[in-house]
Structure formats: C-alpha cells, structure tokens
Amino acid sequence: MLNPLKYFRNRTVGVALGSGGAKGLAHIAVLDYLKTEGVPVHRLAGSSIGAVIGALYSIGAMERYRDELLKMDWKELLSLVDPVFPRMGLVEGKKLRGFLSKFIPEKANLEDLPVPLSVVATDYFSGLPVVFTRGNVLDALRASIAIPGVFTPVKYGDSFLIDGGVSNPLPVDVLARMKSGLTIAVNLHPTLPRRFLKKTVREALDSAAMADASAIEDGGAMSSGATAGKDGRWRISNLIGSHRKSKEEKDPAPNLFQIISQAIDIMEYMNTLMILRAFKPAVLIQPDLIDMPTLDFTHASRAIEEGYAACRRVQGQLQRKIKPWI
C-alpha cells in the first residue's frame, strides 16, 4: 500500500553494529538479511568488531571476508596473533591488520567509503568515545578493536585509544548524529554470559530479560538486570546478594582469558543498557550468542547462522517499522 507520509520524513536507514568480539560475526548475516529483504543501508556506525564488519560491508568485501573466515581452522586463526611482551597488551595487532588489508586497501579512507561509516574507539585517559568519520580505515579499525588486556592500545596525540566497546558498545547515538531517520541496532549483549554464573544469578537475569522484552514491546526502555525504583535509581541488592558463596555450589575458578572475556561482557552489557535507555532504535536485533567467548573465532558459522535467526525473529518489526517508510 502506498504510504504518502513517507515522503515527509527522513527515510535514511542507519544500522548500529555493536561490539562483542567473535559474537560480532553475526553482523555479517544481519547486513546480508537486510539486503535480501530489500532494506537499504544508508549509514553505518560500529564499535570494535561492528566497525570491522561495517567497513567490509561498505567497501564491498564482506562476503569475501566471510568465505575466507569460514575456511580457516584454529591454527590459521592463531597465526594472526603476534604476541608481544605484555607491557600494555598481549597482542600487537600487526598480523590482524595485515589480514584485514587483504579485503580493505591500505590507503582506503573513511570519507571515501560508498556507505558512510563512523568508527568508535575510546580515549584511554578521558574514557570518552572517539568517533572517526575521516582518515585511514585500517588505522581507525585497529584502534576500535584494541580490547583492553589483549591488544596493545593505539597512540593518539597525547593519549591512547582502546576498544570502542569500552565507552560505546552499541553506537545508536552516533546514528542520530549521522542524521539517520530509521535506525536498526544489533545488540550482542542482551544479557550476561551464564557459564560461570551461579544459579541464583542466572534466575535473576532470566527474570530481568523477561521484563526487558515486555518493556521493549510496550515502547519503554530496556531495564537492567536489577530492578529500578520509582525514582529511576537501580536497586542491585538482589544481584549482590546472589553472588554470596554457596556451600552447595563450587564453581571452578576461571582462567585469565575467561576473566578478561567475562569482564568485557559485563562492562558492555551494562553500558548497552544505559545506551538503550536514552536512544531506542526502531528495530533491535539481538543474536543469542551470550555463551560464545569474546575471543573465540572458531565458531564463525554458528555466529552467522544465529545472526540470520535473530533477523527472522524481528521480521515483523522490519515489515512494520522500516519497510513502509523506505
């Protein structure tokens, strides 16, 4: 049915691609699904892996990257790691940059990309997001993926840049500054990983997730894993209490990389909640990959398959909230 009102509104579609390490391979499926459904992408904003996939999509190399990644085994993936003496990080990142340069030309600049892309990194000293819209694509991506404790930070003037997910894991607000009229966000942190959580914490998060789903459907903001009082402040006593030792449960101690991965997931989950309170996208896509470790890229096919499944779960919203206006 013809919708004459669409000619009086901003019909540009912006997609925010969230951070999440290996989980972010789901972005490949999301962007491909939108193309199949006839939904154009006019603007992109990405943090960390979201910025990488956004750049590959904009430059027209996403499918080639996907095919290459799916063929790689764990030994080939491990070959992209260049360890350094751990003064500021464990991995230098030159080999990963070299791998990305197979798909993104060394001299490619953000301002020349066919689909405008904003790349989010984080200033180490101020903690504020640094959003790149101009300059070398690979340089911006290297800063955006500098996971604390894993990749060495990137020198930036008198400061250093670290992973964009630290300050802005789901850059929906950046799309607003890019003047996107219709926004789609891909959230890789709908809740917390449960592998090392005790039963009481899992139950609290499951209850919160149900409340979040109701709030989104009702047009409200996503709630946190804790409850919120009438004055808007979060009451987290229920979650704090659930962390107490239980004589019946004895969980194995996590290793170094599990600690880093879980800490990052917690940080990005909490920051995402706050972002979605302030900037609600028209459509929120949430792949169910919470148990996939941030640093494990050996399950690329699973992440991509779940990306398609997540899109199918919101197909009705895409039909109602996006397609009538494009």
Instruction: Lowest mean pLDDT of 16-20, 37-41, 255-259, 306-310, name the range.
Output: 255-259
Angle CA(281)–CA(283)–CA(289) in degrees, nearest 5?
105
Catalytic residue among 139, 163, 173, 212: 163
301 is catalytic: no
d(CA 115, CA 311): 21
Q: Can you tell me which residue has the tokens 């400061």? A: 159
Helices (H), the chain: 26-36, 49-59, 62-71, 74-78, 94-100, 137-144, 172-177, 199-217, 237-242, 256-278, 300-313, 315-317
- State which amino acid sits at residue 148: P
Tell me what the pLDDT averaged over the chain comes to: 83
Q: Can you tell me which residue has the tokens 């599990």? A: 258
Tens-place pLDDT, residues 140-199: 999 999 998 889 999 999 999 999 999 999 999 999 999 999 999 999 999 876 554 444
48 is catalytic: yes
pLDDT value at residue 196: 45
DSSP sequence for 119-165: EEEEETTT--EEEESSSBHHHHHHHHT--TTTBPPEEETTEEEE-GG
> How far does Cα 151 stand from its chain's mean position?
17
Catalytic residue among 48, 118, 144, 224: 48
d(CA 112, CA 95): 25
Tens-place pLDDT, residues 48-85: 999 999 999 999 999 999 999 999 988 888 888 878 76
